[in-house]
Amino acid sequence: MEKETEWITGQIRLSIDGTPLEMEMTVPARPVKPQRMLPIFQQMADSFVQIGIDAVQSTGRKISCAKGCAACCRQPVPLAEIEAYRIAEIVAELPEPRRAAIKSRFDEACRRLYAIGWFEKLDRCAHLPAGEREKVVLEYFAENVPCPFLEDGACSIYADRPLACREYLVTSPAANCSAPSRETVRLIELRIRSAATLRSLGDSRNLNAVVNFLPLVLALKWTEVHPDDFPEKTGEQWMADFFRKLTKNPIPAAKNNPPKS
Ligand code: SF4
């Protein structure tokens, strides 16, 4: 089916704090599941992050993140549901014995977090004030549970890593990320956080309304018990949905390309 997919290319023009950004995007012309749009959303997220990096560097500050640090790969990585299904696909496509090894890391991470009741605490976060929610995140950090994809201090799915991982860049000392707090970790400022927008895409009915994310370590278990019931839409429609949620404004149909009936 994928081979039959046709593609359509268009230009997106944005102005972010006065900085013009023009992107050429090639998207599926036929209706697809939102997972097929992830490479496009990743490309957009990278462009938005680069604007944040440029802004930091223009003031003489430096990004502290570097290969081999990976302190942030021991925290609860917030996934959009769409990303959880893609993570499950990535694991399912791995050859053996690698697939079994990665699955066993997911199992071990979940076992440790279940043992301290962390997932129950996450569920209760919806009823807690923001400060208390932060404590739940810190408990995860304290357990020192590595992401199942972390290998030799580097991400083994770097090209496919979630949007939240792409957006997590700091200017504070890298060492501070091992015991993060609002006071000691300075994330770079991003005018557009694609990860949060992606979490609201796909008309999710399953997630906790306040926390609204899936921790990466739950991706395999979650997708096993929640079959994918996303609608199929054209790439153009998914892009319009994304920017509608991002801007909270209606998005006009693309010129010379009216919506298909
Ligand atoms: S997906 Fe990659 S970058 Fe993200 S937490 Fe896991 S190892 Fe780190």
- CA 192–ligand 1 middle distance (angstroms): 21
Positive or negative: CA dihedral 220, 224, 225, 231: positive
Quote the pLDDT of residue 91: 98
Taking Cα atoms as reference points, which of 215, 159, 213, 207 lies closest to residue 45?
A: 159
Q: In Å, how far from its chain's centre is CA 159?
A: 12
Which atom of ligand 1 is the closest one to the Cα of 157?
2
Q: How far is CA 252 from CA 12, 52, 236, in A?
A: 12, 27, 11
Q: Which two tokens stand for residue 207?
A: 């997630």
Quote the pLDDT of residue 54: 92
Quote the pLDDT of residue 42: 96
- CA 112–ligand 1 middle distance (angstroms): 18
Taking Cα atoms as reference points, which of 125, 31, 38, 43 lies closest to residue 76?
A: 125
Residues with CB under 6 A from ligand 1: 73, 77, 147, 149-150, 155, 157, 161-162, 165
Q: Which two tokens stand for residue 58?
A: 């223009």
Q: Which residue's CA is the nearest one to ligand 1's atom 2? A: 155
In SS3 terms, 191-214 reads as: CCCHHHHHHCCCCCCCCCCCCCCE
CA distance 196 to 246: 9
Taking Cα atoms as reference points, which of 44, 22, 33 lies closest to residue 195?
A: 44
Pocket test for ligand 1, best of 102, 106, 149, 218 (most atoms within 8 A of CB): 149
Neighbour-count burial of 216, counting CB atoms closer than 10 A to its CB (0-12 exposed, 13-18 middle, 19+ buried) = buried
Quote the pLDDT of residue 2: 45
Q: Which two tokens stand for residue 53?
A: 């990096």
CA distance 126 to 210: 5
Sole residue written with tokens 């430096």: 62
Pocket test for ligand 1, best of 67, 69, 73, 91 (most atoms within 8 A of CB): 73
- CA 86–ligand 1 middle distance (angstroms): 14
- CA 62–ligand 1 middle distance (angstroms): 21
- CA 1–ligand 1 middle distance (angstroms): 30
CA distance 74 to 112: 13
- CA 8–ligand 1 middle distance (angstroms): 31
Q: Which residue's CA is the nearest one to ligand 1's atom 1? A: 161
- CA 88–ligand 1 middle distance (angstroms): 14
- CA 221–ligand 1 middle distance (angstroms): 18
Mean pLDDT per segment of 10 residues, for the chain of length 261 residues? 69 80 90 94 94 93 88 90 94 98 98 94 79 84 94 94 95 85 87 88 58 84 90 93 84 54 36
Asked if 167 and 83 touch (Cβ cutoff 8 Å), the reply is no
CA distance 201 to 80: 8
Quote the pLDDT of residue 39: 95
Identify residue 191 by its one-letter amino acid code.
Answer: R
- Is 124 strand, coil or helix? helix
Quote the pLDDT of residue 69: 84
Which atom of ligand 1 is the closest one to the Cα of 150?
7
